Structure 1
Amino acid sequence: MALGIKTEIILRLNELAGFAKKGDDFFGDELCNFLSNEFDLEAAVIFSVNQENSLTVIGKSANARRNFLSGSSFNCNVCKLIQNEIEHNLHFDSNCNLQISDSLIYEGCVLTKTVDSLNLLFKLAKKTAFTKAEKDSLQKIVEFVSLLFSSWLGKKGNVTAPSSAFSKIVADSTFELKNNANSIIGFTTILTEESLSPSVTEYLSSIKKNAQSLLLNINDLNELAKADANSLTGITKKISVTNTINEILNLFAGKLSARNVTFKTEYAPALSRQIELDDQKLRYIITNLLLFTATSADEGEVVINAVPAPEKKIKTTISFKGKNLPDEILNKIFEPYTLAKLNEYKNTSFSGLGLTLVKKYVNYLGGDITAGNTVGGTTFAFTINGEVMSDLETTISQLPKPTSKNKVLVIEDDYATSKLLSNYLNKWGYNPTIVSKEDQAMSIINNDHLLAVILDIEIPNTNGLELLKKIHEHPNTKNVPVIVCSIEPEQQKAFMMGAVEYFVKPINYNYLVEVLTSYKLRKDSNILCVDDDLPTLNLVKQAIELAGFNPIAENVSANVMNMIIDKQIDLAIVDLDMPHPNGFELIKLIKSEKRFAHLPIIIYTGKENYKEDLHKIEGLFEELLDKRSTNIEDLADTINAMINRYDVPPPVEEVILKKGGIKILLAEDYKHSQIIVTRLLKKNNFEDIVVVENGEDAVKMAQQEKFDLILMDMQMPIMNGFEATEKIRQMPEYKSTPVIALTAFAMKGDREKCLEAGATDYIPKPIDSKEFIEKVKYYTNA
């Protein structure tokens, strides 16, 4: 959004405007889904404000709580927006009577008026606090949306909630019918396992077949109702059209081989590339046309031709030999149950609504379909929207995807350098924003959450070191790493001003990615916070977000163990004074889980006279902070310090003296690579790590202590990893010890060289976290 409104948003708003003009019953829901997707909301609900300030639901997103049904009424006695009629401002109130999401998150309201003076209340829920940029964008969108509502209400002719349209009745009915059909199929399957007479078995088979046919028709009917109500939805993804068609053909090949029917495919080479499409709907279209073919085709070839067409479309034709259809059937072939009138289609698995839905899906995908008789056969031809990617675009689409947590601000005035930086950052999954001026940089810092800042301190008309200081002191970037680059070596000054790393140009881009990876791992930390007092819990969440981490919040202590059963937790902040289980009991429960045995815990409490009870959990927590004397900034600093402990290995003497446990030797000279590996190991309960910075020290340490696993960087000073691995393998006690080679930005043949030197396995840098931990666990039998 920083560079202007996206084209997709304009297209989506245009689509919503179309729904509004037609008075579509699903307009309110579609609008809420749009807001949820565009602003990364957990839920959205729109109410009309009626007399005596009662609220009626006129739209809800799919992820909102189920009790907010269209037409249902609610009240909020504390709502200041309604009472004071404050328009367009996003308002938060912890005492609000309405909670539209099941999660404990930020919920706010916006009030707006239509041109007919109807008050609309937008209730929005988000996992994280709304940024200033998001608030501004929301207010502008809401102003625009109020105009759409005026158009919609004018078409509807009333200001009440949408009526239960026929399509809604169909949707509800088909849900019940599907349950009944599934029950019939299930019970007949059970009965066929009994010892039954052949005639009864045949009856059951017929019942089951008819129930399955009924289920197909019910599913198609439900989709047709959605199509008629303009409420079809889908998920697009990048696919190869040729691969998709071939997969479907493989399913049909066996069915047609007995009739000497074969498939011949004619594909344009471009269609093997990636194309953004609704894969499920395309599969339905092809499958149903081939079902028709399987019933109709005589001996010979079924020819499937797919090529790019004008106006960014794809054209597909399916031709086969068989008797021509009567004109009265052919002209109505896409109408419901037309084919059911023909005897050859009555006892097949072909749904009477199949071709009708095929046409609806083709139209939904932006195209059209025709059917025609040819000499001795029939041909279907259809088009759909689909722009074929270039080879370069296909390659780029397969690279790691940038996410909202990967935003990197680059302040650089040199075009060539900024272009190189942008290419490298995009390649490794980061989302760079390039600016060349101080005011542009500060504007982004004011409005965006950033993973890191890369600053050239030699930009014109700006004191780079002063800008560095300003960035470091800004509340939004206080905990954001700033990486400085320059043609002049001024490391000392930069570090004093808050830089975390300094590169002298030309930049070593491989090392730059390592630095960003180390900070991304840190920012991906999940912090559990438990407090039954909601205002305090929200403050703790704010402190966690201020420190740049992910809060996992819960106000009911009894829910915590189930909530974290499958989560990676890096730190816990627990209040003591809570209902059962209280804080003491909860800490014991958490620590009793093997994977949380080393989890650092901060007690953050306002409980009085707690000190005499601390012996109950002695040794189970790291820090104790009093709510009455600890402000949010202090809490954020403590959180930062605790998370940073994952970066630091234990003292060497402590590891050597320790008996039992898995001991790991890491030989790595680059600081940020050390941080990445140490953090990954400690987060996965590998605590006994010794770090050395060259191959010679690795050999000496291996002679001094027996390690269960060695992680060896192959490019190190004094003695490289290849030589060090060979020397360690000569020691009798290390003949079979696993050694994993780490190679920066590997070249072809590196793996073979590492294995020849004696390595057991090999991992290229930048390290893939999942692959790395899987291999460590495999080689240590953890």
Structure 2
Amino acid sequence: MDTLWVWVALFALGILGILIRFFSAKQAKIEKMYEKMLQKQQEIERSQSLFLANISENIHEIIEKSYKETTTCKEEQPAIREMVKGKKLLDVTHDLIEFLRLKSKKVQVSHEKFNLNNVLNEVSGTVCTRFKGSPVELIFDIDNNIPRYLIGDLLNLEKVLRHLLEYFLQENSQGEIKLEIAMFGNYEEKIQLQFKLSDMGEGLDAKAMESLFIPVYNEENKEYSGLGLFVAKELITMMQGELAVHSVVGKGTSFTISLPFEMLDPKNRRNYRLPDKVLTAKKVFIADRNYNSALALKKMFAYFRHDVKVVNKEEFLAHKPDLKAYDIVILDLSLFQAKTVAYLEKIKKEKDLKVVALDSLLEREESRNTDAVIDRVLIKPANQERIFELIVNLYTLKQIRKTPVEEIPQEHELTHRTDIIETTNVSQQSFRDFSGMQLLIVEDDEINQKVLLNILKISGIEVSVANNGREAVEIIKEKDGSFDLVLMDINMPVMDGYTATQMIRLESEFNELPIVAFTALALESEKEKIFNSGMNAYLTKPINIGKLYTVFKMYHRLSSKQKVTATPQRRTFSKDILDVEKGIVYANRNEGFYMEILQEFLDAYGQSTEVFAKLIREHRYEQIKMLCIDMKGLSGTIGAKEMFGLIIEIHQKVLYHQEDMLVNYVDAYGKALRKLTDEIHRYLNMPST
């Protein structure tokens, strides 16, 4: 009997051992799989962190290269010189500021009212200026139920769309790029907007998809790929949105973004109301070289209950359709041949036919002449608000009732309708010519605010800042007309620049106040809106310091408020510690940008001595290496020669595994950084701490 129990016990122990071994093996497999996943996640995070650390170093290399090209181009044509100086250096400067703001964790999400159409105008104006001349067809396909006004983050939405569109335009030299906007999940005022961006390009394989949002620096051409996508993805996450990517090799790629917003007025289903019923139910004919683009336009016109017929360019040329039955005829600009023009002129003599020419923002030429038969030119990509304005502007009807805000003010003698001429050889000191003036800057972008404030810092101009149009109206009324000039951004949350200017002009006491617009989209239709709202002139983005000086000179009024000040002696700085002149050249010769870079440098790295010492104490050599790469690029870019040399020494110790010598550099790092920050504070005219 005892033997039996022994065998039973042995059998049970055997079973238990097998089970323990089985579950141990399974647990080990799970742990191994988890470890692989963790390693992969850490690798991705390390790649992204390493990229952020590397960007400043390689930005410095790009700037050096661009600076040499600028110098080489001194004897070349002015247009070439401007292209090299303006495009490369300005892009790099913006990248550097954005990089430093990410490092300082300054990017925030806002929740304010904005006009979605203004965002689309700003984005299209910016990307089409950068890729001007591209034959790609850019299409905005917007569902009819998309609200005109939303509550959410205007600036970050604008950046997301701009970065993604820039990616597609970089990857495509032909075909079409489409932005589709749809609305889902309508729960009271809460909505989800879906932005789908797609191309007809080569598509991406699995390997390319895996690294799509990990920025890569190309040593050969000294360029980055993926920076915009990286930033866009980070912003989407911050805005509590989602991003999905789909790609098929040989067919194209699409990005689908879902972002939460709130509706300003959920009960209002008609976002665009024509001022008179006579403007609805028109018969519209559209012939475009791109059929999908024509269909997107059809959807926008159909919103106003128009009956729309669409054909492509080839069909129009082959069949020469009868256009007598239509109220509005919209044709691609290339279709206005002699016979077509003569045919349209004949119809115009018989009836009130409106003729619209279609042109592309990417391909349009400023000097291109249009035929007299054309009533209006519609620039693609369009949006619902611009179609609304087109219809209203095509028909000038006495019976259209206008509210006081919509009335066009009488044009002031100081109104300047043409592009502002750039004044040459302008520096920060040049603005002392306007000492004593009172200026209001109306701008929601903090970077643009700081750049302008830095440009004018030593000018003696008294500057006030409003973050949106509503604040501007309130400040102007509080100051009781004491401002000499207002610089007004167009695309802002809460209240845009058009509405703010209209509200200001309602008060007759402000009729003489010069208001100059900042805009990224300088189309004729947008210029018309600028002047109709009551503004006196416009400046295009990005900021051009020479044109800014011209604007001040145009509206400079001699008065008792302005005081004459002696020109101070030019400040001198140790070029070994801070080579200001070289740093300004790196910042696109824009001292305002340079000052903003220095301020962001102070915020991100001004207190990094303790960080450096702690990393050495904790033997975190990989992080020390990343800090060196960071500081190497940034110190070189701002002209900090002494700091740059010291960082190279420290970096070499890490590279050659001489980590035991790093402790000897703690004091040297602290002293060099202190000297540099003191010099930066002195340059920025700030008290050092």
Q: TM-score, normalised by structure 2?
A: 0.28
* Higher gyration radius (CA): 1
Greater RCO, 1 or 2 (C-alpha within 8 Å, sep 6+): 2
Higher helix share: 2
